[in-house]
Structure 1
Amino acid sequence: MTELATLPTTREEDWRYSDGAYLAAADPAAIRQWRTLDVPAGDTHGESFTFLEDTSGTERLRVSVGAGGTFSCFAAIASGRYRRLELEVTLAEGAHFEFGGVTVGGGDAVQEFVTRVIHAEPHGTSNQVVRAVQWGKSTGNFLGRIEVVRDAQKTDAAQNFRALLLEKGAAANTKPELEIFADDVKCAHGAAIGALDDSAAFYMAARGLPPEVARRLLVQAFIGDAFAAMADDEAREAMLGHVLEKLGDAV
């Protein structure tokens, strides 16, 4: 059977935190299908994804970025029982990839970003910032893999994941991976999962802000990190607004 004819399962490493029931019932062709995109040398291209509908699904995008080109992607997963965005980006010499993603979910939602960034030639750069805000029994996932091939010297790659769990029962999973075959590179990853900072909320409340306003401002600043690199101010504010609306009374 071909890859398109088979369904992934949670036994596969890249799907380990996914919704097994959804995968078992899904259309194999839809799950396995990739959309492809080529960014020519020296060009700049951006994509954005905002999942707000109460439906489940997956989106898979494979991108090749030519020498000196830039590809940026910003995404928000804020609804659906199961939502997954998967990106595979290959960078030529001097190319750059920028990613910012946010998951916001309650109930029993499973929301995830899965990225694979291949630094195929020297002087490539990449930066990934992912934030998750979960409550109820929801789960936010980030699986990020960075590959630096042999002779891809002067690579500079980073990824950072942080999650806020607003209630007991919510969860977040992260699996950063670095595979490096060049010796003159800068590669870093960081991850943190926890609750809201009570001391920061107390500081704001002591200066006259109601507790609910202080909490919401803290969450807004937390989420905003993922969209900070968006060049279009209007688009950034719109995406942030959609996400905050989905938070509702959770904060």
Structure 2
Amino acid sequence: SIISSIICFNINNTILFWCFYELSILPLLLLLVVDSPYSERYLAIWYLLGYIMLTSLPMLLFLLFVLFITKVPLPPFHSWLPIVHAEANSFSIMLSGYIMKLGIIGVYRFNYLFLLNSMQELDSKRWLAFLSLSHILIALLGLYNQLYLEEGVVSFFCLGHGISACLLFFLFFNLYNITGSRNWLIFYNSNTNSLVFRVLSILTLASFPPSIQFISEILILLKTYNNCSILLVYSLYLFIGGVY
């Protein structure tokens, strides 16, 4: 997996990058079988395989979202509505009566706000997974604004994010060996010497100054001050990160 990742970082061919990227993920399935002490590891393997084969979870959510907003419909997917309403009256009655409303319910059930439920998570590893997911968004914002062409801001952010996230997962693994649990409340009441490292790692992952992520985010913010759409997403990211 590490060799495939190194190759990914050092090749420019898109097809080869995709191939080695997939190869870097597949060995992790073996780690789930060998290294996980939990009985749910086989279920986790099926989940990982499913999302590898179906691209990724964000892609699935996006497709589901598009599926429902075309039925509501919302612009720019509304051009079919006047055409079909001009035909059978019974069809128009049913479409406007409940089909379009079902689309709204679908948008509600499959929108991204369900991720906010992760704020109540007590399982430390799941909490860290949600935290890492919310903070990696800033790298995508930087790529969207083409900052990779300038100062390598996104690369520095990913470096800091990778180091702090890996350190936290390692610390949580050690705490699990000590306490026998992954519950945050038990971690909080345990007297362990890793408290300082946990706090520093969490602050670093949360872009607390003067971490690499903090400097990278400031640079990205300075570069995107004139782009309202990016600033809106960035503000939402800061809010969610602050709540965590």
Q: Confirm or deny a common fold (TM above 0.5).
A: no
Structure whose residues are more often helix by fraction? 2
- The higher relative CO (CA closer than 8 Å, separation ≥ 6) is in 2
Give TM-score scaled by structure 1 length.
Answer: 0.26
Give TM-score scaled by structure 2 length.
Answer: 0.26
Which of these two proteins has the greater Rg computed from alpha carbons?
2
